Amino acid sequence: MNRKEDKCRIEVQGEMTAERYASFTMLYVPLIGSDAAALYHTLVSIGTRNQKIRNHILIQTISKLSMENMEKSRHVLEQYLLVKTFYDAAKNSYLYQVFMPKDGNEFLRHEVFGRLYLKEMGKDVYEFNKLSFAKPYEDKSEYQEITIPFVNVLKEDWQDVQEEDFRKLKPQQDLLHHNDIPLSFNYDRFLTGLPQMVFPSSARNEKNLRIIGELATIHGIDEITMRKLVSQSMNLKTNDLNIEQLKKKVRSCKSEFHTEDNRDPYRLPPVRFLQNLQHGVEVSRSDKYLIEALISDFKMKPEVVNVLIEYVLKTKNQQFPKAYVEKVASTWVRLEIDTSEKALAQIQGEAEEKSSRRKPAQKKELPSWYHNQEEIKVDVEDFDEDELLQKMKKLRGE
């Protein structure tokens, strides 16, 4: 049993919404009991404050639980997937990760929790809560849209001066949700559980988050690994994210190769796509840098980059020369190729054009005797072998 003087810290994963609070009160509490509920509320409240604790004293004081009851209640919370506990024996320190309750509908549909709630609370209470947490739904199949079509309400008297003012005053586009490069990165998973001390709010600006998402999308790095790389790239004195340091960390990050079960391989992260073509061999830093440039500088979509990678390797005998890659990329950008389908069509079109340019081989007509060989007869019927031998003996003087 742990003691109140033992070191500990709390990490709260997610945010407590009104829906989750109602789920905890109406669904969890009747099953976990008041002591476990008090401990959970205490952990969430302390864990979301700026001032951090060093031991269990404050937890015990606020929850009014003995250390024995606190440990029992913690085990209950662990059974309901609300808390994970970690222990560092060398430092005699505990880490409590506190998770948000499931939404009500999800809790009632859970294979274990739903059955347990029905058993403990009865059918009537279960049915009531099922209706309480049901997602609102209205059948709109009988509705017909009667919205008038959009027309340009801007009158013809719009002046050039007004246009110039509008361009200056128009808000800048949200970099995080800029749709030039589609990102395959879960920001919620990345930020959930990432302490402010490691990645402070001042560094969580749109520019930094956008770059983090782009690097993860290009190199195929998951959110948990990216947390580690970001924490290693922080300037602790200024609380700034060193972008160049992060890029170096990402390029140096070795990914475990595994066969991708993907219906469309062109949807893979470009670095992972190239690694697949190399039969699992790690992509070189120079190739990673070139792939980054195709997306960040040439503004190419990842799926288009993958087609380009495949095309260049086939064309250049499995080489990936920078000059040729950039030449092809420039051409495709000018042709506004922004999907893998367009890129494949461009390659097919080039192949057909080259094929049509080739001169057909000249056909030489064979001599007429070649076709009439059956008509040529060799007269061998009157050939006398004994006579030939006698003539040969006379020539030799025999």
Boundaries of every domain in the chain: 7-109, 187-252, 265-354
Q: How many residues are recorded in the chain?
A: 398
Is 294's pLDDT higher than 60?
A: yes
State which fold the 7-109 domain adopts: Arc Repressor Mutant, subunit A (1.10.10)
| Distance of alpha carbon 124 from alpha carbon 291, whole angstroms | 60
**Looking at per-residue confidence, does 206 or 287 come out higher?**
287
**Looking at per-residue confidence, does 280 or 139 come out higher?**
280
Count of beta carbons in the 10 Å neighbourhood of residue 385? 6
| Distance of alpha carbon 151 from alpha carbon 274, whole angstroms | 47
Report in angstroms the alpha-carbon separations of 70 from 38, 53, 77, 194, 335: 10, 17, 10, 26, 66
Reported as a single tens digit per residue, the pLDDT across 71-107 is 999 999 999 999 999 988 888 889 999 999 999 988 9
pLDDT, position 326: 92
**Looking at per-residue confidence, does 306 or 395 come out higher?**
306
pLDDT, position 179: 44
pLDDT, position 372: 58
pLDDT, position 262: 53
pLDDT, position 325: 93
Give the long-range contacts of residues 88-92, CB within 8 A, separation 24 or more: 91/7, 92/6, 92/7
Is 169's pLDDT higher than 70?
A: no
Q: What angle do CA 201, 191, 301 make, to 5 degrees?
A: 105
Kindly state the greatest CA–CA separation across the chain.
Answer: 138
Reported as a single tens digit per residue, the pLDDT across 130-162 is 888 887 666 677 788 787 765 555 555 666 676
Is 174's pLDDT higher than 50?
A: no
Provide the token pair at 42.
């205490």
What is the model's pTM? 0.44
Report in angstroms the alpha-carbon separations of 263 from 72, 260, 281, 339: 48, 9, 22, 16
Band the pLDDT of 33: cuts 50, 70, 90: very high
pLDDT, position 242: 93
Q: How many separate helices (H) and strands (E) can be counted in the chain?
A: 20, 5
What's the mean pLDDT in 272-295?
89
Band the pLDDT of 117: cuts 50, 70, 90: very high
What is the pairing mode between strands 7-13 and 93-99?
parallel
Residue % of the chain over a pLDDT of 70 = 78
pLDDT, position 5: 85
Provide the token pair at 21.
């609070």
Reported as a single tens digit per residue, the pLDDT across 45-56 is 999 887 888 899
Report in angstroms the alpha-carbon separations of 226 from 18, 220, 240, 276: 30, 10, 16, 21
| Distance of alpha carbon 241 from alpha carbon 234, whole angstroms | 5
What's the mean pLDDT in 173-189?
63
Band the pLDDT of 239: cuts 50, 70, 90: confident
Which range has the top average pLDDT, 156-160, 280-284, 353-357? Answer: 280-284
Is 112's pLDDT higher than 50?
A: yes
Mean residue pLDDT across the chain: 82
pLDDT, position 49: 86
Residue % of the chain over a pLDDT of 90 = 38
What's the mean pLDDT in 202-225?
88
What's the mean pLDDT in 301-312?
94
